[in-house]
Structure 1
Amino acid sequence: MMRFGLAVLAYVLPTFGLGFVWHLVLFDDYYRALHIYRDDIIIPFGLLSMLIQGGIFAWIYGRTLAQSATSFGSRALLYGLLGAVLSWSFTTLAVAAKNIMTSVPGYLLIETGFTLAQWIMVAPLTVLAFRRSVKDSALAQA
């Protein structure tokens, strides 16, 4: 359960931090020019969404890759690719398909960049969260 909680945090903390800085500071003017976001963004809804996503992604990792005998880097890369493609499908493609904006290609470009940056951080942190300590491994072998 501790690993699951750490994996949720491994998703939520970098996603929230990066999301806040990316969307509301660094590229605020870019997003305003797209005319896609409301003026009064509801940050608690975004945080709740990230908590739900973090729980689901942690569960997926725990069920599919956590016990893999592959290397740390291989698990991080595979999980990062899986997470990025899945996230991109519902945070980028689906939004571009149904929201009014001044430039769909512009939105796809900026959000693809965000998704890549997000999963470059989230994937290795999640692998670390599920990593067995030396003490845990010794106890499991005994």
Structure 2
Amino acid sequence: MTMVQSQRAPSNRGFWLGVAAYLVPTFPIAYVWHLVAFAPLYESLDIYRPEPIIAFGFASMLIQGLIFSWAYPRLFAGRGSEIWRPGLAYGAGLAVLSWSFTTLAVAAKNVMGSVPTFMELETGFTLLQFAVVGPLIALAHKT
């Protein structure tokens, strides 16, 4: 592989590390946030099933991790070894995208005990999640 080819094509290793950089922190953060720390508040909203299907949640995260890891080197090509700035920028972009369909759209379509409480909970979760995974995905794809 020539130098030009290696600069254009993201590495397979970086891709899988990026998937892990998304999955490894996201699953425990989501589990603790939704099912432990704020479980009573989510229960009071009365919008979720009593027993979530963990496998579906994990499958959703896996799909997201595959897409987010694939997209990173294409959106931040040529950043060299820089991690924090592009990682936080990527995390912010993903947070806005995710928030639009996991928070805004859900609040718009579902009956719930308190839309403001739901918005606060999910906004906090989204900010935490992507503040962590954005830089980790950048680190995984470090050249």
Cα distance in 1 between the residues matched to 2:50 and 2:35: 11
Residue matched to 2:138? 127
Unaligned runs of 5+ in 2: 1-11
1:62 Cα deviation from its structure 2 partner: 1.8
Q: TM-score, normalised by structure 2?
A: 0.88
Q: What does 1:1-142 align with in structure 2 at a 5 Å threshold?
A: 1-69=12-80, 71-132=82-143
Alpha-carbon separation, structure 2, partners of 1:120 and 1:66: 20
Find the aligned partners of 1:78 and 1:37 in 2 and give their Cα distance.
Answer: 31
Counterpart-to-counterpart distance in 1, 2:77 and 2:34: 31
What's the TM-score once normalised by structure 1's chain length? Answer: 0.88
Q: Structure 1: which 5+ residue stretches go unaligned?
A: 133-142
Aligned partner of 2:39: which letter?
D
Structure 1 segments, 4+ long, off by >4 Å, are none
Question: Structure 1 vs Structure 2: percent identity of aligned residues?
Answer: 53
Distance 2:107 2:23 in 1: 23
How far is 1:66 from its partner? 4.3
Report the residue type matching 1:113 in the other structure.
G
SS at match of 2:22: helix
Is the 8 Å Cα contact of residues 7 and 58 (structure 1) preserved in structure 2?
yes
User: Does the aligned pair in 2 maintain the 1:72–1:127 contact within 8 Å?
Assistant: yes
